Amino acid sequence: MQLKMWVLTGAAVTLWLAPLVALNKRIGWHKSMQGLSLCGAVACAVGGGNIARKLADQAEIEALKLRAVKADVEDEIATEVYVSRTQRQQEAEAILAPSNAEMEEVRERLEALYKPEPSKPAEPLVQPLNQPDDNALAVEEETFTSLNLTKNQAIELIQKLRSELNQTQTIEKLWECKKGGSEAWKRAYAQFKSLMDE
Amino acid sequence: MRAASLANYFVAGCATSSLLGWVASLHPMSFRAIAFLTAASFILWGLCWLLDFSVSSWLKIPVATLQALLVAALAMAVIGAGVLLCS
């Protein structure tokens, strides 16, 4: 199409100028040829102009189509970016503002963590008092009662208990044995007597 | 392409002007007719220059386009006639 347009343009210029320059006006058939060539030049020029106008219109339409496609792509990208940003924002809001159930769960966990525990009764010592210490001096000292108290400790404790308990109750309490003819009672009674004598 | 289109129409106008001159050279009567046509066209051209805004609104084209067309028409007539007379 474009080649046809350029051929018509060239033909129009040639048919316009060449006969007027080359042919003699005084010769009859020359003059006739000039007239015919001028008519042909006008026809070729108009035809070439029409083709060029069509091509120009098509080029404009193609440019419009290209711009429309570009605009569509840009619009699509912008929409995707907007949707993605909105989605991320919603996710962030969902993370920052949890549901009531989650809030309640978190609150309960925190309360459980920071709730002061009720004071437990002091646990009894696992080991009885005055256990032999490896680092202690190697001198063996006699111990009394089931608590392995030293003599002074035992005397002090007995004196305190004697204000409330009688002798039998005190021995039963400290040596953890029942009154009777058992060996434990006899030994406990002997220790008690020896402590009270001193 | 737009420029090629305008150039082709310009060449067509020039060739038409030369053709009118060639027709005028055929016979004295045709010369008078072409002379009358040329005079009428020139008057019309001048009126269009004077009444450019009215004519442009009547033709529904911008004034600048009308003025460009008038200048192009004058150039085509002058070039076409010049080529015919100088050849």
Count of CB contacts below 8 A, A vs B? 78
Asked if the ipTM is above 0.90, the reply is no
Asked if the Cβ–Cβ distance from A46 to B8 is below 8 Å, we say yes
Task: Tell me which of A47 and A151 has the higher pLDDT.
Answer: A47
Residues 6+ apart with CB under 8 A from A61: none
Confidence bin at A94 (pLDDT 50/70/90): confident
Interface contact flag, A56 B87, Cβ < 8 Å: no
Residue A135 has pLDDT above 60, yes or no: no
Is B24 near chain A, with CB under 8 Å? no
Mean pLDDT of the region A2-27 = 86
Q: How far apart are the C-alpha atoms of A171 and A43, rounded to whole Å?
A: 146
Find the residue in B nearest to A7 (Cα). Answer: B8
Cα Rg of chain A (Å, integer) = 62
Q: Which of A7, A32, A38 to mutate to test the interface with B (most CBs of B within 10 A)?
A: A38
Which among B4, B26, B87 is the nearest to A5, CB-wise? B4
Q: What is the pTM of this model?
A: 0.55
Q: What is the pLDDT of residue B42?
A: 92
- Of A4-13, A67-76, A93-102, least confident by mean pLDDT is A93-102
pLDDT, residue A92, reads: 87
Expressed in percent and rounded to 5, the helix, strand and coil fractions of chain A are: 70, 0, 30
From chain A, pick out residues whose CB is under 8 angstroms from the CB of B14. 16
* CA closest to A51 among chain B residues: B5
Cβ–Cβ of A31/B23 closer than 8 Å? no
pLDDT in tens, chain B (87 residues): 889 999 999 999 999 999 999 999 888 898 999 999 999 999 999 999 999 899 989 989 999 999 999 999 999 999 999 988 887
Cross-strand bridge partners of residue A144: A149
Q: With H, G, I as helix, E, B as strand and everything else as coil, classify residue A144.
A: strand
Do B5 and A52 make contact, defined as CB atoms within 8 angstroms?
Answer: yes
The domain spans of chain B are: 2-86
Strands (DSSP E) found in chain A = none
Cβ of B87 and A45 within 8 Å? no
Suggest the residue from A5, A23, A29, A53 to mutate for an interface test with chain B (most B CBs closer than 10 A): A53
> Is the separation of the CB atoms in A184 and A175 below 8 Å?
yes
Identify the residue among B6, B9, B11 best suited for mutation to test binding to A, counting A beta carbons within 10 A and taking the highest.
Answer: B11
Name the pLDDT band for A65 (thresholds 50, 70, 90): very high
Shortest alpha-carbon distance between residue B37 and chain A (Å): 19
Predicted confidence at residue B16, as pLDDT, reads: 92
Q: Which residues from chain B sit within 8 angstroms of residue A7, using beta carbons?
A: none
